[in-house]
Structure 1
Amino acid sequence: MYEFEATVWRWREDGTWHFLTLPEDVTDDIDDRTPQKAGFGSVRVEVTIGSSTWSTSVFPSKELGSFILPVKKAVRVAEGCEEGDRVRVRLAVQP
């Protein structure tokens, strides 16, 4: 289980997709522990922000040198977070 804070950012200025960038140490640890990755190098995870918990995947970003985590609209609305907000994240890698 990993716990960290990260800032919500939007993919492209006119885009609707929002993400968090995982800290470097979390990315390195996940990368080391999951040699068998799914499509596009993704890793299945369970995430909690506030009282919202959901299953998704983190994806490698060569541009950022880290994994990125999509944050769906339902979670952003439920937790009252938007682009630029720092959020507390609990993340567990799924088998």
Structure 2
Amino acid sequence: MFTCTGPVIEWRGPAPFVFLAVPEDDSDDIKDASRGQEYWGQVAVDVRIGETDFRTALFPKDGRYLVPLKVAVRRAEGIEVGQELTATLQLASRGEPRVG
């Protein structure tokens, strides 16, 4: 299990996406722990932010991972772009039932 704190960022593509940027040191630790579990560079994780639990896949970008933050999660936890956010990440195997 990993606990990390980083900035909430917006990445504009065809549509805006909001992510938690995982610090590089934490990203390196996650990459080491997830060897053999990644799929096209993405890593499945169970995430806890505040009182909200959800499953997603970390996106690799510029030497670190990004945690996608769905609108429902952002609303539930009052998350805004630019704030510092702390999340707990648990590696999840594909096909494994979500815990929590």
Q: Same fold (TM over 0.5)?
A: yes
In 2, the alpha carbon distance for the partners of 1:73 and 1:16 equals: 11
Normalised by the length of structure 1, the TM-score is 0.87
Kindly tell me: are residues 13 and 94 of structure 1, through their superposed partners in 2, closer, same or farther at Cα, counting changes over 3 Å? closer
Aligned residues: 92
Moved over 6 A (4+): none
Normalised by the length of structure 2, the TM-score is 0.83
Question: Which protein has the bigger helix share?
Answer: 1
Question: In the alignment, which residue of structure 2 is the partner of 1:29?
Answer: 29
1:29 Cα deviation after fit: 1.2
Q: Counterpart of 1:91 in structure 2: which amino acid?
A: L
In 1, the alpha carbon distance for the partners of 2:5 and 2:34 equals: 22
Q: How does 1:9-48 map to 2 (within 5 A)?
A: 9-12=9-12, 15-36=15-36, 37-38=38-39, 40-48=40-48
Which runs of no fewer than 5 residues in structure 2 stay unpaired?
94-100
Q: Counterpart of 2:58 in structure 1: which amino acid?
A: V
Which runs of no fewer than 5 residues in structure 1 stay unpaired?
none
